[in-house]
């Protein structure tokens, strides 16, 4: 019974994939070829980027279907577009050029051609084997006769149906096709996706280039991390020297004076004692703030979700936090994510003019994903000296990425992704 259900499900999937392979692949292939050809006329520069974006969205949908329906993993090979692309016609020309220089673009077009031909032939067998059962029995129940009387026989596979006997053979063959479908239908759908993987997955050369790019990026972010760590140590040293240490020295001097005055001038000694107690309290507060700036205690004790909620409670703007985490990430990842959120919230409060902020934290498919959204005036951008650039470098240390969407007039959404596993 389980195999029968799987065969019927694969048949339905095969029918859907056949329609998608013919309608979707043919349409996108024709549009892509025409759009690229029109580049010579200037029109294609404007039409090619959206058409290729549609092709990539179609291919990504195939990748998701391959994973969920047949367990075939097809990695995405696309090169990321720079975040600082210009707007207007100049930006469109630059975007078009980058897309056409990406080898994955041309492999996508090859896949569309294969998908509408060989891919469709392979996957159409899955629903056909099931439907042949129905058609064979329809012929055997008498439909063959009016077809024959109308001017000829009906071919059922290799059987020429010209009589009730041959119609019965067709029904028997249809039953055999159905039995065959029970065993081969899931394999046909899987074969269709395996054929797609030969062109949609990155090649060895593409993987090597991507690996080299990631190594260069990680090397750069590691250097940034070392520089940031040295700067952070200098900051801690300055804070200790100018803050808590100075107060502790003053408190020690006051205690020495109190010791000398305790018998000669008790009132003055009492006044200095009160000041020493105040200095000790302020020094303790500064030390706590310093420790919180290095690694907040709530982050160590309660995890990222509660640490972000505690951070939101101290903000002057109404902030809604939504956390869905089934466990905890590594301590270093949690720390990076916490301070990235903290910097993003600080930017929103300082520059956005927002009335409300939303923070969403969840983990899916091996990625910690965080989105900080505000309803402010927009216009945020990454650049030299920007706090968001520092966040990007911090996340880059863990091979994470940062994306900013902030059109004029708002809203602003800062999205962060860090690859990690939860314990």
* CA distance linking residue 105 with residue 308, whole number of Å: 40
**What is the per-residue pLDDT for 240?**
58
- Helix (H) / strand (E) element for 90: namely helix 88-101
Model confidence at 54: pLDDT above 90? yes
DSSP SS3 for 195: helix
For residues 240 and 226, what is the distance between their CA atoms, to the nearest angstrom? Answer: 21
CA atoms of 191 and 66, how far apart (whole Å): 10
Of residues 373, 371, 370, 367, the one with CA closest to residue 399: 367
- Using CB atoms within 10 Å of the CB of residue 366, give its burial: 0 to 12 exposed, 13 to 18 middle, 19+ buried: exposed
Contacts of 278 (CB under 8 A, 6+ apart): none
Closest CA to 101 of 137, 62, 48: 48
Q: Is the pLDDT of residue 230 over 60?
A: no
pLDDT in tens, 299-357: 778 888 888 898 888 888 888 999 998 888 888 888 888 888 888 888 888 888 888 99
pLDDT on residue 177: 77
Inter-helix orientation angle 88-101/44-65, to 10°: 50
Q: What's the distance, Cα to Cα, between the start and end of the chain in Å? A: 38
Model confidence pTM above 0.75: no
Nearest of 249, 255, 295 to residue 273 by alpha carbon? 255
Radius of gyration of the chain (CA): 33
Residue pair 406/379 in contact by the 8 Å Cβ criterion: yes
Q: What does the buried/exposed string (b/e) look like for 158-182 if buried means 16 or more CB atoms within 10 Å of the residue's CB?
A: ebebeeeebbbbbbebbeebbeebb
Q: Please write the tens of the pLDDT for every residue from 325-334.
A: 888 888 888 8
Mean pLDDT of 283-294: 61
Structure confidence at residue 29 as a pLDDT band (50, 70, 90): very high
Condensed to tens digits (0 to 9), the pLDDT of residues 249-281 reads 666 766 777 777 667 777 777 777 777 777 676
d(CA 331, CA 229): 16
- The arithmetic mean of pLDDT across residues 156-167, rounded, is 73
127: Cα separation from own chain's centroid: 34
* Residue 355 vs residues 65, 99, 347, 372: alpha-carbon distances, Å: 41, 39, 14, 14
Q: How confident is the model over 170-205, as pLDDT tens digits?
A: 778 888 877 888 888 888 989 999 999 988 888 766
DSSP labels for 309-321?
A: HHHHHT-SSEEEE
d(C-alpha 39, C-alpha 118), whole Å: 30
Q: Which stretches within 155-265 are classed as H helix?
A: 164-200, 204-239, 245-261
- Does residue 11 carry a pLDDT above 90? no
């Amino acid at each position: 019974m389980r195999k029968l259900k799987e065969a019927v499900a694969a048949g339905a999937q095969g029918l859907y994939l056949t329609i998608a392979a013919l309608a979707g692949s043919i349409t996108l292939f024709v549009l892509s070829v025409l759009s690229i050809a029109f580049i010579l006329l200037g029109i294609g520069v404007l039409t090619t980027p959206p058409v290729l974006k549609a092709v990539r969205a179609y291919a990504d949908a195939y990748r998701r279907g391959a994973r969920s329906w047949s367990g075939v993993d097809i990695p995405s090979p696309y090169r990321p577009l720079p975040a600082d692309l210009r707007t207007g016609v100049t930006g469109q020309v630059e975007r078009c050029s980058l897309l056409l220089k990406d080898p994955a673009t041309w492999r996508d077009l090859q896949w569309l051609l294969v998908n509408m031909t060989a891919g469709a032939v392979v996957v159409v067998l899955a629903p056909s084997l099931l439907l042949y059962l129905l058609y064979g029995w329809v012929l055997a129940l008498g439909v063959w006769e009016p077809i024959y009387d109308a001017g000829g026989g009906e071919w059922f596979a290799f059987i020429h149906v010209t009589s009730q006997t041959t119609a019965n053979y067709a029904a028997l063959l249809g039953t055999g096709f159905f039995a065959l479908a029970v065993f081969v239908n899931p394999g046909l759908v899987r074969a269709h996706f395996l054929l797609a993987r030969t062109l949609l997955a990155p090649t060895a050369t593409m993987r090597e280039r991507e690996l080299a790019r990631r190594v260069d990026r990680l090397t750069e972010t590691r250097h940034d991390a070392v520089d940031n760590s040295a700067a952070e140590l200098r900051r801690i040293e300055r804070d200790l020297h100018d803050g808590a240490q100075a107060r502790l020295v003053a408190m020690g001097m006051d205690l020495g004076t109190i010791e000398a005055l305790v018998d000669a001038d008790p009132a003055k000694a009492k006044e200095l004692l009160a000041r020493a107690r105040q200095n000790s309290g302020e020094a303790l507060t500064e030390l706590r703030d310093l420790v919180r700036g290095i690694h907040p205690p709530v982050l160590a004790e309660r995890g990222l979700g509660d640490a972000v909620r505690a951070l939101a409670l101290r903000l002057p703007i109404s902030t809604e936090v939504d956390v869905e985490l089934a466990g905890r990430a590594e301590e270093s990842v949690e720390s990076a994510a916490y301070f990235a959120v903290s910097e993003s919230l600080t930017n929103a409060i300082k520059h956005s003019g927002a009335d409300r902020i939303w923070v969403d934290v969840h983990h899916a498919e091996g990625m910690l994903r965080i989105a900080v959204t505000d309803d402010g005036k927009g216009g945020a951008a990454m650049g030299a000296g920007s706090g968001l650039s520092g966040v990007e470098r911090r996340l880059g240390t863990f091979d994470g990425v940062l994306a900013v969407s902030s059109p004029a007039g708002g809203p602003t959404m800062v999205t962060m992704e860090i690859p990690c596993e939860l314990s």
